């Protein structure tokens, strides 16, 4: 039986997870679309929004020397990274349901063949 997780409506982001495989439907990055076997999945990692301190600090120095006021906190956006035997799939979670993304991550990790 398949479990369907709709993380976002526009653009669509959906995971369909079955017993032997999972399917990704990603309207934001169509290169992520496809059906993948659980056998090739090595890891699923959910990364939350994080502040990119290097860019944030560099922007402050640029502000000091240029007199502009564009500096501030720069964030790396939340994403889900799936590592398979032959590729890494980065799925950006902008405007997505992060609680469902966590459920997808946990379920995919539980299906990994050790």
* Domain boundaries of the chain, sorted by first residue: 3-111
Instruction: Tell which residue, 111, 92, 107, has the closest CA to residue 37.
Output: 111
Confidence category of residue 1, pLDDT binned at 50, 70, 90: confident
Strand partners, 50: 76
Instruction: Tell which residue, 84, 83, 103, 101, has the closest CA to residue 92.
Output: 101
Cβ contacts of residue 110 below 8 Å, gap of 6+? none
pLDDT of 62 reads: 62
Coil vs helix vs strand at 13: strand
pLDDT of 77 reads: 76
**What letter does residue 31 receive in the DSSP assignment?**
G
Q: For residue range 39-89, what is the model confidence (pLDDT) as tens digits?
A: 999 999 998 865 444 554 566 566 656 666 555 655 557 999 999 999 999
Q: Mean pLDDT across the chain, nearest whole number? A: 85
Q: Are 20 and 31 in contact (CB under 8 A)?
A: no
**Fold for the domain defined by 3-111:** PH-domain like (2.30.29)
Q: What is the mean pLDDT of residues 83-102?
A: 93
Q: What is the mean pLDDT of residues 25-45?
A: 95
pTM of the model: 0.76
């Amino acid at each position: 039986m398949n479990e369907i997780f709709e993380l976002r409506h526009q653009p669509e982001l959906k995971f369909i997870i079955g017993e032997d495989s999972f399917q990704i439907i990603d309207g934001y990055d169509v290169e992520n679309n496809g059906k993948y076997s659980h056998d090739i999945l090595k890891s699923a990692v959910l990364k939350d929004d994080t502040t990119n301190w290097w860019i944030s600090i560099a922007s402050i120095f640029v502000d000091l020397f240029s007199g502009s006021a564009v500096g501030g906190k720069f964030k790396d956006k939340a994403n889900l990274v799936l590592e398979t035997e032959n590729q890494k799939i980065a799925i950006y979670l902008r405007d997505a349901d992060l609680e469902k993304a966590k459920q997808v991550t946990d379920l995919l990790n539980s299906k990994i063949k050790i």
